Amino acid sequence: MTQVDTAETGQGGAGPQDTGPGIRHPGTRRAAVRRAIRTVSRPGPWKRGLVLAALALLLGLVMLLHAKIPNRIGNLGSLVETVLPWFGLFIPLLLAGALWRRSASAVVALLLPVLAWLNLFGGLLSNKSHPGGDLIVASHNVGADNPDPAGTARDLAASGADVLALEEITPQAKPQYEKELAKAYPYHTVQGTVGLWSKLPLSDTRAVDIEMDYGPLADTKPVDIKMAYNRSLRTTVATDQGPLAVYVAHLGSARVTPRTGFWTDSRDRGAQALGKAIAAEQNKRVVLLGDLNGTMDDRAFAGITSQMQSAQDAAGNGFGFSWPAKFPVVRIDQILVRGVEPDNSWVLPTTGSDHRPVAAGITW
């Protein structure tokens, strides 16, 4: 009787029985629904990291459209252009975040800043210099606080430069530069705080007004007082290939302050005046040497860069950063040419200045 009753009732020690095809236990159905909801709601690789993708696109647009960033508020556009190469550092940071989040959308979005950076600076990654050069020119902001002007002069004389421009020459240091450079450079001129030393004869030398002293009172000051802080000159170097016009300039400083933002008024005014002087230059062969306190990506120098090319961009190896000397992060010491070809461009070893000297070989 016990066996029959068990068989008829379908109960015993075996637990729940199969209820047939198409019929599932309620607990199993609930688990399947939960799994389906989790699968649908879980973000896929294209939905993850959307913030990272947006940041990558923004970075690319800033690099592509940097010229469109207005200068109305604190010279923001010029500030961005000054540090533009360093925007590339954000690319590996965003890539690390995209890989950590496993975000396909962020990885794809990073293609925009990568291509933008390579378009702007990819050419600087290759060595474009080659041996040669009819004339070696060099420029150095020697620093008003240089503790060893004589040592700096000896280092520069040993560089082999045929034409050497110095900026920020103080009255106290001037005799030391003249003494130490006299043997290597029989010709030289100093106009205010800038000077040029040359192995070749100089002529038609004059100061260039870059409007450092600007305003209603500027015209009332005597010439000798204004010359004391003159910061630009123009001269002619007599080369075997013909006359070469050489400009030396030390433009006004650029400063970042909480009140004014990126303050460049004096520098920008000087850049415009220098651009006009070069445009009026009759000699077809021109070299500009100096501390321009800005990079050639900065729109403020359009009046100069539209007429001349950077020796570093055309024939250098790398970015050629020159300031600050201990850990250079920007190139504000420039060599630009017109009517001659740069063969090579490089940065010289540090001296007692807070700038590094720069040099270039040019040919006709």
Could you tell me the CA-to-CA distances from 177 to 130, 205, 227, 349 in Å, in that order?
31, 19, 19, 18
Q: Are 305 and 272 in contact (CB under 8 A)?
A: no
What is the pLDDT, as a whole number, of residue 260? 81
What is the pLDDT, as a whole number, of residue 12? 46
Whole-angstrom distance, CA of residue 92 vs CA of residue 88: 8
Whole-angstrom distance, CA of residue 176 vs CA of residue 197: 13
Q: Are 286 and 308 in contact (CB under 8 A)?
A: yes
What is the pLDDT, as a whole number, of residue 133? 86
Whole-angstrom distance, CA of residue 364 vs CA of residue 240: 10
pLDDT by residue (tens digit) across 35-76? 665 654 556 788 889 999 999 999 999 999 999 999 988 899
What is the pLDDT, as a whole number, of residue 218? 54
pTM given for the model: 0.84
Whole-angstrom distance, CA of residue 328 vs CA of residue 292: 15
What is the pLDDT, as a whole number, of residue 212? 82
Bridge pairing between strands 333-338 and 286-291:
antiparallel
Q: Are 194 and 248 in contact (CB under 8 A)?
A: yes
| Residue 157: other Cβ atoms inside 10 A | 17
What is the pLDDT, as a whole number, of residue 151? 98
Q: Closest Cα partner for 80 from 300, 271, 268, 324?
A: 300
What is the pLDDT, as a whole number, of residue 4? 43
Sign of CA dihedral 160, 162, 163, 169: positive
Could you tell me the CA-to-CA distances from 222 to 205, 217, 225, 228 in Å, in that order?
20, 11, 5, 10
What is the pLDDT, as a whole number, of residue 248? 98
Token duo for residue 272: 């415009």
| Residue 314: other Cβ atoms inside 10 A | 18
The ranges of the chain with pLDDT < 70 are: 1-26, 33-43, 213-229
Coil, helix or strand for 289?
strand
